[in-house]
Amino acid sequence: MKRQHTPKITTDLISCESPNTELMHEVMCAQCGRCGRDNKFLREDLEMFTAGVLEAHGAPREEALTTARVLVQADSRGISSHGIARLGRYLKGIEAGYIRPGVEMRTFSPTEALGVIDAHHGLGQVAGEQAMELAIAKAKKTGVGVVTVRNSNHYGIAGYYVQKALEHGMAAFSMTNSAPLVIPTNGAEALLGTNPIAFGIPADKQRPVLVDMATSVVPRGKLEVYDRNRQQMPVGWAVDEFGYDAQNPGRILQNLLERAGGGILPLGGRTEEFGGHKGYGLALMVDMLCGVLSGSAFGSDVNNLNRTDLPQGEIQAPRVGHFFLALDVERFMPASELRSRVDAYVEMLKSSKVALDREMIFVHGEKEQVRAELHEKDGIPIADNVLNALRQIAEKSKVKPPVTLAQRQH
């Protein structure tokens, strides 16, 4: 059945962004105001609910818990575009048969330092966690562990897997390709994914540095957030099927689903003037490692569920690929020395001169880690529209909906 998307706003709606506001939970604070106890949840309650729903759809308990942890960590860190709001998509994939919970994933180890996992179309979070754990184990033996994954699905936030390596005192990379959503520089057709890169390195007194970014100006999820909230997006995020700047997120989402042209811009923007070709190059690099090198799909073939020219024996599936690297920093210097050097660099950045209209300089991962600490104590906020969708999922799955913080306190 052909997928469709109906834009939530008209093409002539004026921008409704308020001035002097900052992004929080992917929604403008001025339009949010939804952080009361009725919309907040304890992390463990969201995880148990998510796992329960996945189990009701055939996922083994451990796989369901792993997937739930990754999704809820995204919400906890304020990355709601990759959080529990995606649960419905996973259920559709399971029902359609291209996400296969409980499938046996095959692991190959060509050398002590290298690994390859064929996920056989299982849950991406399960494949991702297995791959990073394998990379960490190999790094402990040889100093470096590199693992690719083929035939997988969406694996959530890339930073989750880097965080696992940080807990072992290692530096790490995590990457994934994705459905074609991003145009190449000078193009007007999406051929590349948002193809995120995550990198982390441990510190001592400072929080670890954790870079987690799409190689596009914005991830698809942010367009979905703007569309759900009937907001126009800023000029410079995406172009229409003619390659012209567009502000209606629903129209871009509709075009992407139909592969009708246009798409999100690479990091740096539309042209080479501000480095758009560099974002294009980063996205290409990720796809070469995650798609080409792993033996999975790449470019326009990723998530091409309408493809008719499949090789014999292949099923209609997203065939997403991942790439993981774990690095034992103690092979370079004592871990304590490395962590103190990272501290010194972070302190150098944060003590440097601040722009007149800004209060402080942040280091990658800092905002998200602070949010996670606050949410662990005060509850994770979930937007009304997402909460309504979760309650519908709960009813259909015959699972109790998640308990709000207000309900817990009564």
Question: Which sign does the torsion angle of CA 130, 136, 137, 142 carry?
Answer: positive
How large is the angle between the packed helices 249-258 and 220-228, nearest 10 degrees? 130
Query: pTM score, two decimals?
Result: 0.89
CB 306 within 8 A of CB 281: no
| Distance separating alpha carbons of residues 61 and 173, to the nearest angstrom | 28
Domain with CATH 3.30.60.50 in the chain: 218-264
Q: What is the average pLDDT value for the chain, to the nearest integer?
A: 90
At the second CATH level, the architecture of 103-214+272-368 is 2-Layer Sandwich (3.30)
At the second CATH level, the architecture of 21-96+379-410 is Orthogonal Bundle (1.10)
Q: Is 367 helix (H, G, I), strand (E, B) or coil?
A: helix
Domain with CATH 1.10.1530.10 in the chain: 21-96+379-410
pLDDT reported for residue 228:
82
Q: Quick: pLDDT tens for 16-30.
A: 333 332 333 333 333
| Distance separating alpha carbons of residues 125 and 139, to the nearest angstrom | 21
pLDDT reported for residue 279:
97
pLDDT reported for residue 15:
33
If you write DSSP's letter for every residue of 272-310 in order, what string do you get? TTTTHHHHHHHHHHHHIIIIITTTS--GGGTT-TT---P
Helix, strand counts (H, E) of the chain: 12, 14
pLDDT reported for residue 29:
37
Query: 262 has which bridge partners?
Result: 189
Q: Quick: pLDDT tens for 307-355.
A: 777 777 777 899 999 999 999 999 999 999 999 999 999 999 999 999 9
pLDDT reported for residue 35:
54
pLDDT reported for residue 174:
98
CB 212 within 8 A of CB 162: yes
237: left (phi over 0), alpha (psi -120 to 50) or beta: alpha
Q: Quick: pLDDT tens for 152-165.
A: 999 999 999 999 99
pLDDT reported for residue 408:
86
Domain with CATH 3.30.1370.60 in the chain: 103-214+272-368
Mean pLDDT of 138-165: 98
What amino acid occupies position 45?
Answer: D
CB atoms within 10 A of CB 218: 22
pLDDT score of 224 more than 90: no
What amino acid occupies position 196?
Answer: P
CATH class of the region 218-264: alpha beta
The residue with greater pLDDT, 213 or 18, is: 213
Q: Is 148 helix (H, G, I), strand (E, B) or coil?
A: strand
Mean pLDDT of 255-278: 94
Q: Which residues contact 364 (CB under 8 A, 6 or more apart)?
A: 209, 210, 211, 212, 213
